[in-house]
Chain A
Amino acid sequence: MKRIVAKEEYCMNCRLCEVHCLVSHSRSKDLIKAFRQERGEIVPRITVERLGAVSFAVQCRHCDEPACVEACMTGALSRDPVTGEVTHDPQRCVGCWMCVMVCPTGAIRRDKSGHVAAKCDLCLETGTPACVANCPNEALVIEEDND
């Protein structure tokens, strides 16, 4: 499957990945509108973690044995057995936040607009994840994982 790989040595903590992730998951898909009108309700599904000079972007790792899928009581989270992607169905999500609790990388956040979980969906609609496409230093790359 495709995985987003973070190269921490070139991550410069600009956090443009967060900006573009938020826009990519907004209704308007417009930078200014998304921030002006939707920020607070929707959240970026990628977070830049930083300690001193070192930073890197974290998003769903699409684990082989995902704890979130295990913990999800409604089956909103599931792992596609073919592609390996961990997907989230907001229609089935009840906002119990168990997935948020168990995610080992803290990659799942609460989307206030729908009271549902929000996680990286690899921007399946557009093909290229917005964070990868907009990282100015190529510190986020998408790689095919052959495992």
Chain B
Amino acid sequence: MSKRLVQAEFNVERDPERCIQCQVCVRQCSNQVHAYDEEAEQVTCDEASCVGCQRCATLCPTGAITIKKAPPDFAPDNNWTSDVIQNIYRQAETGGVLLSAMGNDTAKTSWWDNILLNASQVTNPSIDPLREPMELTTFLGAKPNAVELSFDDQGGPSLATKLAPQLVLSTPIMFSAMSYGAISYNAFESLARAAGQYGTFANSGEGGLHKDFWPHGPNMIVQVASGRFGVDIDYLKVAAAVEIKIGQGAKPGIGGHLPGEKVDERISQTRMIPVGSDAISPAPHHDIYSIEDLRQLIYSLKEATRYQKPISVKIAAVHNVAAIASGIVRAGADIVAIDGYKGGTGAAPTMIRNNVGIPIEFALAAVDDRLRQEGIRNQASVVACGGFRSSADVVKAIALGADAVYIGTAALVALGCHLCQKCYTGKCNWGIATQDPYLTRRLNPDIGARRLVNLLRGWSHEIKEMMGGMGINAIESLRGNREHLRGVGLSDRELSILGIKAAGE
């Protein structure tokens, strides 16, 4: 066997003064980095398998373990970096496609940091959200072109316009689509419970909805994706809304593949496929090759749900996203979800994750502009997703034109994810992206749901604080209000696409 050239990515440092040989690290590492040598009565380690998930360092009772990034000391080169060289070694050894998970991790991926928010000074009063009411309630769904009232004999008004079905969110944040299969039962349950407790929505992803989760239906958006996993009339009926998944920001243009070894009895029931069979989502929907075809599916789902549920269409942010979004709205979608290229995934080819698609900042601004220009912005809500890291990102997205955002990575981080980006190995040490029964029990949904609700509460509070600073007391007044945004370090072209002024203007 020839010598492998790929070098260890992490150094595992164990402080011998602190290590008590309790072997917690040995029992917690699914990558077998730590082992106990009975003869030497000592914990040993094999750094080559370390993925840097920090599980051992977090659980070590004496803090004896430190995991450090160990870029192999190749000769310094700005083009041929150690990552590039290591990737080539990997492919030269396996002949395979490089895989990654979570979102694009390359250096320049976020433009939110180039956008700054406004605050009131002197001429308009700011509002203290702790003392005055502040409204974050968000309604997702088609809004009428005009509202007509009718009056009874006594002149009492009532609404004559028939309103389209709406999702009511207590905060403009929802949990992104993450399927049961990609994430564990306990992670899925945590998300569903937290959505219900906070009055928002979780998304089932494309893997169906296990019957155990049907009680969470009123707070679930269910997906219909190209694999059609778990889709039947009961699945559509039990949910609050249905989302047609066309694309995903992390991997626009390609499908999905849940390996057969993850398809156990419960996942098999949920996805409606045999135990052990690969769950393959084709790249396209084979019945959607045009906007007209999409319209057929949207209306099939509307018929199936008796026009009582909003139908969402989720696409990846790609080059002609504005025109595509316009087509989707005209095809009858009530919600358009746009996933930017920072969006996460359980598995994607590295080259696709890092190079395909466009940032959500530009896509969102372009879609909002286009729908306004065409006079159809009211016909659908726009949900932005892909790499939202903080409440500030959310506020900026809403001011750019989003009705709400989906958070995926941030939610998983709240559950304990340390972004080691190895979801596709199925060995998630945090019990999130795995189906191994030894690992899934590490996520207690009581703790998970509590942490997610705390995250939503914290972000919502911060959103209110930022709105208050701008002198705005309802999220509706912030929506699409780009006057509250200014750009720094952006070119004229970038500013014009974002539709915002430069700082100082």
A129-147: which have CB < 8 Å to B? 134, 136-139
The CA-CA distance from A124 to B148 in the complex, in Å, is 70
The CA-CA distance from A12 to B437 in the complex, in Å, is 10
Across the interface, which residues of B come within 8 angstroms of A136, CB to CB? 59
* Listed stretches B15-23, B287-295, B404-412; interface member: B15-23
What does the 1/0 interface line of B430-466 toward A look like (CB < 8 Å)?
Answer: 0100001110011110110000000000000000000
The CA-CA distance from A19 to B23 in the complex, in Å, is 10
- Among B17, B61, B443, point to the contact of A19 (Cβ < 8 A): B61
Are the CB atoms of A10 and B59 closer together than 8 Å? no
Any B CB within 8 A of the CB of A35? yes
Q: Chain B interface mostly helix, strand, loop or mixed?
A: loop
CB distance from B88 to the nearest CB of A (A): 38
Are the CB atoms of A11 and B441 closer together than 8 Å? yes
Any B CB within 8 A of the CB of A20? yes
Are the CB atoms of B438 and A13 closer together than 8 Å? yes
Any A CB within 8 A of the CB of B190? no
Any A CB within 8 A of the CB of B319? no
B202-222: which have CB < 8 Å to A? none
Across the interface, which residues of A come within 8 angstroms of B446, CB to CB? 138
Any A CB within 8 A of the CB of B24? yes
Any B CB within 8 A of the CB of A31? yes
Q: Answer whether A35 and B22 are a contact pair too, CB < 8 Å, given A53-B437, A137-B447, A138-B447.
A: yes
What does the 1/0 interface line of A1-27 toward B look like (CB < 8 Å)?
Answer: 000000101111111101110000000
Across the interface, which residues of A come within 8 angstroms of B59, CB to CB? 14, 16, 136
Are the CB atoms of A15 and B61 closer together than 8 Å? no
Across the interface, which residues of B come within 8 angstroms of A9, CB to CB? 441
CB distance from B413 to the nearest CB of A (A): 17
Count contacts on B: residues with CB < 8 A to the other chain. Answer: 22
CB distance from A143 to the nearest CB of B (A): 14
CB distance from A44 to the nearest CB of B (A): 10
The CA-CA distance from A52 to B447 in the complex, in Å, is 24
- Among B20, B23, B438, B447, point to the contact of A53 (Cβ < 8 A): B438
The CA-CA distance from A39 to B27 in the complex, in Å, is 20
B1-37: which have CB < 8 Å to A? 17-18, 20-24, 27-28
What does the 1/0 interface line of A43-81 toward B look like (CB < 8 Å)?
Answer: 000000000111000000000000000000000000000
The CA-CA distance from A39 to B22 in the complex, in Å, is 11
Across the interface, which residues of A come within 8 angstroms of B447, CB to CB? 137-138
Are the CB atoms of A35 and B27 closer together than 8 Å? no
CB distance from A74 to the nearest CB of B (A): 34
The CA-CA distance from A1 to B457 in the complex, in Å, is 36
Across the interface, which residues of B come within 8 angstroms of A10, CB to CB? 441-442, 444
CB distance from A61 to the nearest CB of B (A): 22
The CA-CA distance from A52 to B444 in the complex, in Å, is 19
Any B CB within 8 A of the CB of A32? yes
The chain B residue sitting closest to A36, CB to CB, is B20
Are the CB atoms of B27 and A15 closer together than 8 Å? yes
Across the interface, which residues of B come within 8 angstroms of A137, CB to CB? 441-444, 447
Any A CB within 8 A of the CB of B277? no
The CA-CA distance from A35 to B20 in the complex, in Å, is 6
The CA-CA distance from A94 to B21 in the complex, in Å, is 32
The CA-CA distance from A14 to B438 in the complex, in Å, is 11
Are the CB atoms of B24 and A15 closer together than 8 Å? yes
The CA-CA distance from A97 to B18 in the complex, in Å, is 35
Any A CB within 8 A of the CB of B145? no
Are the CB atoms of A53 and B24 closer together than 8 Å? no
What does the 1/0 interface line of B294-331 toward A look like (CB < 8 Å)?
Answer: 00000000000000000000000000000000000000
CB distance from B21 to the nearest CB of A (A): 7
Any A CB within 8 A of the CB of B62? yes
Across the interface, which residues of A come within 8 angstroms of B443, CB to CB? 137
Are the CB atoms of B21 and A16 closer together than 8 Å? no
Are the CB atoms of B436 and A53 closer together than 8 Å? yes
Interface residues, chain B, with chain A CB atoms under 8 Å away: 17-18, 20-24, 27-28, 59, 61-62, 431, 436-438, 441-444, 446-447
Query: Given A15-B23, A19-B61, A35-B22, 18 more contacts at CB 8 Å?
Result: A7-B444, A10-B442, A10-B444, A13-B27, A13-B438, A14-B24, A16-B59, A20-B61, A32-B18, A32-B20, A39-B20, A53-B436, A53-B437, A134-B61, A136-B59, A137-B441, A137-B442, A138-B446
25 contacts between A and B (CB under 8 A): A7-B444, A9-B441, A11-B441, A12-B438, A15-B22, A15-B23, A16-B61, A19-B22, A19-B24, A19-B61, A31-B20, A31-B62, A32-B62, A35-B22, A39-B20, A52-B437, A53-B437, A53-B441, A54-B437, A134-B61, A136-B59, A137-B441, A137-B442, A137-B447, A139-B444
Interface residues, chain A, with chain B CB atoms under 8 Å away: 7, 9-16, 18-20, 31-32, 35-36, 39, 52-54, 134, 136-139
